[in-house]
């Protein structure tokens, strides 16, 4: 990985799992890292303390990805704390599952809000602060290609939409040298 000294990153959903490991890795490579959490302040504080114990800089930020204004505010808080913005990792998410006939339109709105609308809001706000050459990394899912069984329609829908959003961001921001990619992990032990 490149030296990230002097870079500023925000990892949504950075208090646990994949997001926590991404935040730690970015910090180990020199980036100052903001990380959002929904309700697990103790987990977020633990990740921040790990980063600080290794000599890094971290800022835990309470933000609900269901609220696009909270996500925008997290970007702004990261900029205010660290004086810039270079890397956005949209990791926050939920895993809805269940029979198709039990999924409500409210469920659809909520999941698309978390997995797509919040990512759009964060990317739009981050791009206003990013210098040329910034990075937007969206965490998708391998389940957009193959579903192992029933009950994952809503999840697959939202992560497929994330892929389309990412392709659009890449085209819109590419002329500025800002790369937008989606990473589709499978089951991951962190």
Which residues, listed in sequence order, are joined to residue 9 by a DSSP beta bridge?
33, 87
Domain spans, the chain: 8-183
Query: At 179, phi and psi to the nearest 5?
Result: -90, 135
pLDDT at 35 over 80: yes
d(CA 39, CA 49) in angstroms, rounded, equals 17
Give the residue, 6 or 1, on which the prediction is more confident: 6
pLDDT band at 108 (very low <50, low <70, confident <90, very high): very high
> In the prediction, which pLDDT does 149 show?
87
Which residues, listed in sequence order, are joined to residue 8 by a DSSP beta bridge?
32
How large a percentage of the chain has pLDDT more than 90?
87
> In the prediction, which pLDDT does 49 show?
98
> In the prediction, which pLDDT does 188 show?
77
Q: Under 8 Å CB-to-CB from 149, ≥6 apart: which residues? A: none
> Which CATH class for the 8-183 domain?
alpha beta
> In the prediction, which pLDDT does 41 show?
96
pTM of the shown model: 0.95
Q: Encoding tokens for residue 27? A: 């910090």
> In the prediction, which pLDDT does 105 show?
96
pLDDT at 1 over 90: no
Residue 67: C-alpha distances to residues 72, 103, 189 (Å): 9, 21, 28
Average pLDDT on 84-112 reads 95
pLDDT band at 33 (very low <50, low <70, confident <90, very high): very high
Among the listed residues 154, 155, 161, 166, the single catalytic one is 155
> In the prediction, which pLDDT does 25 show?
97
155: annotated active-site residue: yes
Average pLDDT on 141-161 reads 89
Burial 12-39 (b: 16+ CB within 10 A, else e): bbbbbebbbbbbbebbbebbbbbbbbbe
Mean of all residue pLDDT scores within the chain? 95
């Amino acid at each position: 990985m490149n030296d990230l000294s002097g870079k500023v990153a925000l990892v949504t959903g950075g208090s646990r799992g994949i997001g926590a490991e991404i935040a730690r890795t970015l910090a180990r490579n020199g980036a100052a890292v903001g990380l959002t959490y929904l309700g697990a302040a103790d987990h977020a504080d633990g990740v921040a303390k790990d980063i600080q114990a290794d000599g890094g800089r971290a800022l835990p930020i309470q933000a609900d990805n269901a609220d696009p204004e909270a996500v925008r505010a997290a970007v702004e808080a990261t900029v205010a704390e660290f004086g810039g913005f270079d890397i956005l990792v949209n990791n926050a998410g939920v895993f809805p599952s269940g029979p198709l006939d039990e999924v409500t339109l409210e469920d659809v709105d909520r999941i698309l809000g978390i997995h797509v609308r919040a990512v759009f809001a964060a990317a739009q706000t981050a791009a206003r602060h990013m210098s040329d050459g910034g990075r937007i990394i969206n965490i998708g899912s391998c389940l957009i290609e193959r579903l192992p069984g029933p009950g994952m329609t809503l999840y697959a829908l939202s992560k497929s939409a994330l892929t389309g959003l990412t392709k659009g961001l890449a085209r819109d921001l590419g002329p500025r040298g800002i790369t937008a990619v989606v990473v589709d992990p499978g089951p991951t032990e962190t």
